[in-house]
């Protein structure tokens, strides 16, 4: 039978405990005692849940050795990416840089003059040769091949067009003896001065 009020069935008497009278002071004392107990009890520290199980150090070191190193771009790759980005962003910049690469050496050559510019280039190459002789020889061979190519092109042109043009000689100068470094006439005069006159 449906009992919406949850009333006791008919004919059954409910057992009731005798009513207790509780004073508000007792309630306050009880609440204070519970609060003291909670304050005295050590509180568990809140920790973040573990996302991954803890791995022992030995296993972690083995995994790091087995794992391939991440790709670190070389400076050449970074420079190429930067140059490509600049070329895409500012296409006129490439034309300006190429123009500067041609104009600046010409201005330096005209400002310094032929002799001083040749001395500067020779000194720079000698310094580079001391630092890295293998690359210096590779660079010298490359320059000699370029000069030979220019000479072949100039041989097709009329002689009056190329009469005053002198290309650099990049071959090593042969080592000369001390006697050959002196002017032969001054050497002859020195020898004549040393020998006493026969008369």
Q: List, in order, residues 6 or more apart from 8 with CB less than 8 Å away.
A: 14
Instruction: For residue 79, count other CB atoms closer than 10 A to its CB.
Output: 11
Q: List, in order, residues 6 or more apart from 112 with CB less than 8 Å away.
A: 120
Q: List, in order, residues 6 or more apart from 198 with CB less than 8 Å away.
A: none
Selection from 99, 96, 123, 97 nearest residue 112 by Cα = 123
Task: Report pLDDT for 54.
Answer: 58
pTM of this prediction?
0.40
Q: How far apart are CA 92 and CA 102, in angstroms?
A: 16
Residue ranges in the chain modelled with pLDDT below 50 = 198-199
Q: How far apart are CA 59 and CA 65, in angstroms?
A: 10
CB 103 within 8 A of CB 133: no
Task: Report pLDDT for 199.
Answer: 44
CB 171 within 8 A of CB 137: no
DSSP state, residue 197 = P
CB 112 within 8 A of CB 104: no
3-state secondary structure of 160: coil
The two tokens of residue 169 are 């000689």
């Amino acid at each position: 039978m449906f009992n919406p009020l949850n009333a006791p069935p008919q004919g059954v008497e409910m057992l009731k405990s005798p009513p207790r009278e509780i004073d508000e002071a007792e309630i306050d004392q009880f609440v204070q005692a519970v609060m003291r107990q909670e304050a005295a009890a050590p509180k568990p520290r809140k920790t973040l849940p573990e996302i991954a199980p803890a791995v022992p150090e030995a296993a972690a070191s083995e995994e790091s050795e087995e794992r391939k190193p991440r790709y670190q771009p070389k400076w050449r790759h970074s420079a190429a990416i930067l140059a490509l980005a600049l070329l895409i962003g500012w296409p006129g910049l490439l034309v300006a840089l190429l123009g500067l690469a041609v104009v600046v050496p010409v201005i330096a050559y005209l400002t310094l003059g032929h002799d001083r510019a040749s001395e500067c280039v020779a000194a720079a190459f000698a310094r580079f040769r001391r630092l890295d002789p293998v690359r210096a020889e590779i660079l010298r061979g490359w320059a000699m091949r370029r000069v030979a190519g220019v000479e072949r092109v100039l041989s097709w042109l009329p002689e009056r067009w190329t009469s005053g043009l002198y290309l650099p000689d990049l071959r090593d100068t042969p080592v000369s003896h001390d006697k050959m470094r002196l002017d032969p006439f001054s050497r002859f005069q020195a020898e004549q001065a040393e020998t006493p006159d026969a008369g």
